[in-house]
């Protein structure tokens, strides 16, 4: 225990260790948050997506914080609903002869310099035969009231304000939205800032009838991470990509290092044909095209991340590292303490696992930690090549989508940069920690 405290204290003497631990800590916190707040099934469902899941979001919306970097503030999307806790105020007044009047209002501050892309109302109503009747009104900051629509709504009905032809006629313009956000008859090209209100009043004609509405504004910006071409909130793959990347990286690094080491230990301890065989396999494996095999597996067999992980580990076991380990094992094999262990009757297995391998741990741990990012990058690269796991939201998939959609040509840098920053954070974190660990475990490198 005290040894643990001591090594931790040793570790914290290195600034690189602190940077590394902070980065890794941040990634772990993100992972924990993602796993707790978004269950796996939910994550895959959301990622599979479709219009019914993501209809509320705009496409290609950069994240909201883009406004920090620009004087011209872009509208940030939002969605509210009249359901309990949905943000809108809803009052129901029961009238005579089974009628009720439902008044739904929502007011919001609009402080942007651009017009939104779209305003949409999604109605949901319940009734037996008689459709509820709805009137929608828009109230500008100056208090002017604009009639938007009067309609009978079906069980579900979508009303896109900009595309309503009656409204276009009434406002005498094709561009409905600008008309709603400027004072009537003014020539201004930018929206008036202030508090707007939308007011939906519905009348139902049956005892248990009800009307609910979702009001969605598609701005040009969306949320903390933005959206992609399928309107998906990029927070999902960024959050969920973290535990996946870490799991892939750590499992691959751990699996590869441990197996490599055990095989190297067995080979160097027994020598003879076992060692020869391992050496030959390594040499063959070294000339096998690693990526090409992964691509073939991905194309013809399975793109499941676990299959790819397995193949990656399998192909990485017999790597050049095996020769490095072997060289060290050959040295410790003849060291006096191994000879002593043989002399008091230690079995081969115990020598390998309790004497040879522990000696290697100081070499193994820094190498293992430093190799995590390699595998994280590998997984991302495979995804970019279109071999990402088909169901999991990952960083690599985000980049792939971005490229496939020409994000960089369209100036949608956020789409690539966000996963790239996380990848770099991973690389930096593990590399820095590995560096510090190397200094600690291999004191030859240490300054006195």
Site residues for other proteins per CB under 8 A:
335-337, 339-347, 350, 354-355, 358-359, 361, 447-448
Nearest alpha-carbon partner for 129 in 221, 239, 207: 207
Nearer of residues 32 and 361 to other proteins, judged by Cβ: 361
Instruction: Give how far Cα 429 sits from Cα of 149, 244, 370, Å.
Output: 56, 16, 9
Residue 430 · residue 369 · CB < 8 Å: yes
Antiparallel, parallel or unpaired: β 100-110 and 194-204: antiparallel
Burial class (CB within 10 angstroms; exposed 0-12, middle 13-18, buried 19+) of 176? buried
> Least distance in Å: CB of 284 to other proteins?
20
The two tokens of residue 16 are 């690189």
Nearer of residues 115 and 355 to other proteins, judged by Cβ: 355
Task: Round to whole Å and give the CA distance between 87 and 447.
Answer: 61
Instruction: Give how far Cα 140 sits from Cα of 109, 201, 282, 397, Å.
Output: 11, 17, 74, 42
Nearer of residues 10 and 118 to other proteins, judged by Cβ: 10
Nearer of residues 48 and 342 to other proteins, judged by Cβ: 342
Distance of CA 415 to the CA centre of its chain: 11
Instruction: Give how far Cα 79 sits from Cα of 75, 217, 417, Å.
Output: 13, 6, 26
- Identify each DSSP E strand in 175-325 by its residue range: 194-204, 210-218
Other Cβ atoms closer than 10 A to 425: 18
Task: Round to whole Å and give the CA distance between 368 and 189.
Answer: 59
- At residue 21, φ and ψ (nearest 5 deg) are -65, -40
Beta bridge mates, 157: 123
> Least distance in Å: CB of 336 to other proteins?
4
> Least distance in Å: CB of 35 to other proteins?
35
Distance of CA 313 to the CA centre of its chain: 24
Edge-to-edge strand ranges of the sheet holding 145-152: 89-94, 100-110, 194-204, 133-139, 145-152
């Amino acid at each position: 225990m005290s040894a643990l405290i001591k090594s931790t204290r040793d570790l914290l003497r290195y600034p690189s260790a602190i940077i590394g631990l902070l980065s890794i800590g941040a990634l772990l916190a993100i992972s924990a948050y993602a796993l707790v707040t978004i269950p796996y099934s939910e994550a895959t469902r959301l990622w599979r997506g479709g219009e019914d899941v993501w209809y509320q979001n705009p496409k290609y919306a950069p994240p909201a914080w883009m406004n920090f970097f620009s004087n011209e503030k872009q509208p940030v999307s939002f969605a509210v609903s009249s359901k309990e806790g949905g943000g809108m105020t809803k009052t129901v007044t029961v009238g005579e002869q089974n009628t009720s009047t439902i008044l739904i209002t929502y007011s919001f501050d609009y402080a942007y310099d651009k017009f939104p892309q779209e305003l949409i109302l999604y109605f949901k109503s319940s009734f037996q035969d008689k459709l509820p009747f709805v009137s929608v009104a828009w109230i500008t900051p100056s208090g002017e009231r604009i009639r938007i629509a009067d309609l009978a709504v079906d069980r579900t009905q979508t009303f896109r304000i900009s595309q309503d032809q009656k409204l276009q006629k009434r406002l005498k313009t094709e561009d409905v939205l600008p008309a709603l956000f400027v004072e009537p008859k003014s020539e201004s090209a930018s929206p008036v800032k202030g508090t707007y209100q939308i007011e939906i009043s519905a009348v139902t004609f049956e005892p248990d009838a009800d009307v609910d509405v979702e009001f969605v504004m598609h701005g040009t910006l969306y949320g903390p991470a933005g959206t992609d071409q399928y309107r998906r909130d990029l927070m999902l793959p960024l959050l969920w990509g973290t535990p996946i990347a870490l799991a892939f990286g750590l499992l691959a690094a751990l699996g590869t290092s441990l197996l490599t080491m055990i095989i190297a230990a067995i080979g160097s301890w027994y020598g003879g044909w076992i060692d020869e065989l391992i050496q030959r396999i390594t040499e063959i494996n070294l000339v096998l095209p690693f990526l090409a095999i992964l691509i073939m597996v991905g194309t013809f067999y399975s793109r499941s991340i676990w299959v790819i992980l397995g193949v990656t580990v399998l192909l990485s076991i017999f790597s050049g590292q095996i020769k490095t380990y072997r060289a060290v094992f050959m040295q410790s094999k003849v060291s006096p303490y191994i000879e002593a262990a043989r002399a008091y009757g230690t079995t081969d297995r115990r020598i390998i696992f309790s004497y040879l391998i522990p000696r290697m741990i100081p070499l193994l741990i820094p190498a293992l930690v430093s190799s995590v990012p390699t595998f994280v990058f590998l997984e991302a690269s495979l995804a970019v090549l279109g071999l990402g796991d088909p169901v999991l939201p990952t960083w690599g998939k985000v980049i792939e989508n971005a490229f496939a959609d020409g994000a960089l040509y369209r100036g949608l840098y956020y789409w690539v940069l966000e996963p790239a920053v996380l990848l770099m954070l991973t690389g930096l974190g593990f590399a820095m920690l590995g560096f510090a660990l190397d200094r600690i475990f291999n004191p030859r490198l240490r300054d006195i």
